[in-house]
């Protein structure tokens, strides 16, 4: 998201960091970095304004600090601290019952935290609930909507609740309806729609007010593969201009959508990394697998390669997986060996790592050691 700074910072002797996520006003670049700071009145006011702007620009779009929720003895969410920076699609991953929905409900303001804080665009959800909710588009789990209303009535209701006003409301309505392809069902009752369409109505509701932050609770849960694909494409398109927090227990979703992943289990944060970093934790990361006729002969040879740690053969299809020693690259030596052996390799692949394996590893460790 491109934010605009205040019109005028005056003559500011502060250089912007080059990796700053927001567009810096041109006037700043013309100042030499070595100008000594003179706190004249004009300067002071300007620098205060600059600091305020800079601070607000650096505020995470979604931020939780030791967010905790108890139900009696049960701790549903345990001291969860996450941040989603502008432009990020943050995946909240975890097995069912890990506390994903509870965390989202607290960020959305539906549940009050037992302790800790959550902020949306810098607005504390407890102290400034309305400002936080205005900045947020939220699709609750299962995309609930009023079944007896038509799609048009429902979206008009949301537009009124969001105080969009007649003109803006109509423009956004047309945009969103066109974009989510809801024209043909505008006059249908929501309860008569298919699950996929209902999910799209839920998405329409969430983005109607063009929020900078979007929070989607299991947006593709219970949909068929085609509907999943459609919804994912829509989310992907929305991600270009928004910060999105998306919860899921589907791993393929992480690859398809997220650029960072937070893994929850038993209400606790277990991992916070990019999908690639997670894959790198996998045993399969950097492994080479291949299918070849009569590969049994070569196994011994492969085992002698200095970089190889282990070899596994799939008992069903005879596919061989060669695991490297830590840090070793084995694709080339393996390929060379196979060529030397004169094996007919029908297919060979360098594995990126298996998310499902990492996921299982991360989320089940806790159960064994409570």
Partner 1 sequence: MSPVNAVMRRELRSFFVTPMAWVFLVIFLVLAGILTFYTGDFYERGQADLQPFFVMHPWLYLILVPAVTMRMWAEEAKGGTLELLLTLPMTLWQAMLGKFFAAWLFIGMALALTFPIWLTVNYLGSPDNGAIFAGYLGSWLMAGSFVAIGACLSALTRSQVVAFVLTAVVCVLLILAGQPQVMDFFSGALPRRLVNALAYLSMLRHFEAIARGVLDLRDLAYFLLSTLGWLIAGVLLLELKRVR
Q: Which residues bind partner 1 (CB under 8 A)?
A: 105, 108-112, 129-130, 133-134, 136, 138, 140-142, 144-149, 153, 157-158, 160-163, 205
Which of 53/157 has CB closer to partner 1?
A: 157
Which of 140/267 has CB closer to partner 1?
A: 140
Which of 166/369 has CB closer to partner 1?
A: 166
Which of 105/228 has CB closer to partner 1?
A: 105
Least distance (Å) between residue 113 CB and partner 1: 9
Least distance (Å) between residue 217 CB and partner 1: 9
CA dihedral 347, 351, 352, 357 (to 10 degrees): 130
Burial of 307 (0-12, 13-18, 19+ CB in 10 A): middle
Report which of 222, 139, 213, 129 is spatially closest to residue 180, judged by C-alpha positions: 139
Which of 23/161 has CB closer to partner 1?
A: 161
Bridge-based pairing of strands 243-248 and 213-217 is parallel
Distance CA 75, CA 92 (A): 18
Contact 72, 37 (CB under 8 A): no
Least distance (Å) between residue 243 CB and partner 1: 17
Least distance (Å) between residue 186 CB and partner 1: 16
Which of 80/158 has CB closer to partner 1?
A: 158
Which of 80/136 has CB closer to partner 1?
A: 136
Report which of 30, 27, 33 is spatially closest to residue 15, judged by C-alpha positions: 33
Least distance (Å) between residue 180 CB and partner 1: 17
Contact 320, 326 (CB under 8 A): no
Least distance (Å) between residue 8 CB and partner 1: 32
Which of 145/270 has CB closer to partner 1?
A: 145
C-alpha 185 chain-centroid distance: 30
Contact 151, 187 (CB under 8 A): yes
Within 10 Å of residue 53's Cβ, how many Cβ atoms? 17
**Alpha carbon of 204 to those of 4, 208, 216: distances in Å?**
27, 6, 12
Least distance (Å) between residue 105 CB and partner 1: 7
Bridge-based pairing of strands 320-324 and 288-292 is antiparallel
Least distance (Å) between residue 235 CB and partner 1: 19
Least distance (Å) between residue 134 CB and partner 1: 5
C-alpha 331 chain-centroid distance: 32
Distance CA 346, CA 343 (A): 9
Which of 198/285 has CB closer to partner 1?
A: 198
| Letter string b/e over residues 228-255, b meaning 16 or more CB atoms within 10 A of that residue's CB | bebbbebbeebbeebbbbbbbbebebbe
- 35's CB contacts (< 8 A; 6+ apart) are 13
């Amino acid at each position: 998201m491109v934010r605009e700074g205040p019109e005028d910072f005056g003559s500011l002797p502060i250089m912007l960091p080059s990796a700053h996520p927001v567009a810096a006003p041109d006037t700043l670049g013309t100042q030499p970095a070595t100008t000594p700071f003179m706190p004249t009145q004009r300067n002071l006011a300007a620098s205060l304004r600059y600091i305020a702007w800079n601070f607000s620009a650096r505020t995470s779009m979604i931020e939780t600090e030791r967010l905790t929720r108890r139900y009696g003895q049960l701790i549903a969410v345990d001291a969860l601290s996450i941040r989603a920076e502008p432009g990020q699609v943050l995946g909240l991953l975890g097995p069912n019952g890990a506390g994903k929905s509870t965390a989202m409900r607290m960020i959305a303001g539906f549940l009050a935290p037992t302790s800790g804080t959550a902020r949306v665009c810098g607005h504390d959800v407890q102290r400034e609930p309305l400002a936080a909710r205005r900045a947020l588009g939220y699709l609750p789990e299962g995309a609930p909507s009023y079944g007896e209303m038509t799609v048009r009535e429902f979206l008009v209701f949301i537009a009124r609740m969001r105080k969009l006003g007649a003109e803006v409301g109509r423009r956004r309505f047309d945009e969103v309806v066109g974009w989510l392809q809801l024209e043909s069902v505008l006059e249908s009752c929501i309860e008569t729609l298919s699950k996929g369409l209902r999910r799209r109505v839920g998405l329409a509701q969430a983005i109607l007010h063009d929020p900078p932050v979007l929070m989607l609770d299991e947006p593709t849960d219970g949909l068929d593969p085609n509907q999943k694909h459609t919804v994912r494409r829509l989310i992907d398109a929305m991600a270009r201009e928004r910060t999105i927090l998306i919860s899921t227990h589907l791993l393929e979703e992480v690859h398809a959508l997220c650029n960072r992943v937070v893994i929850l289990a038993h209400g606790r944060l277990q991992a916070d990394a990019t999908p690639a970093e997670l894959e790198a934790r996998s045993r399969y990361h950097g492994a080479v697998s291949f299918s070849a006729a009569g590969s049994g002969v070569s196994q011994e040879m492969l085992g002698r390669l200095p970089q190889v740690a282990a070899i596994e053969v799939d008992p069903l299809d005879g596919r061989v997986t060669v695991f490297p020693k830590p840090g070793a690259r084995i694709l080339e030596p393996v390929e060379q060996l196979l060529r030397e052996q004169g094996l007919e390799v029908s297919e060979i692949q360098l594995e990126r790592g298996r998310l499902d394996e990492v996921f299982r590893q991360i989320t089940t460790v806790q159960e064994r050691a409570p």
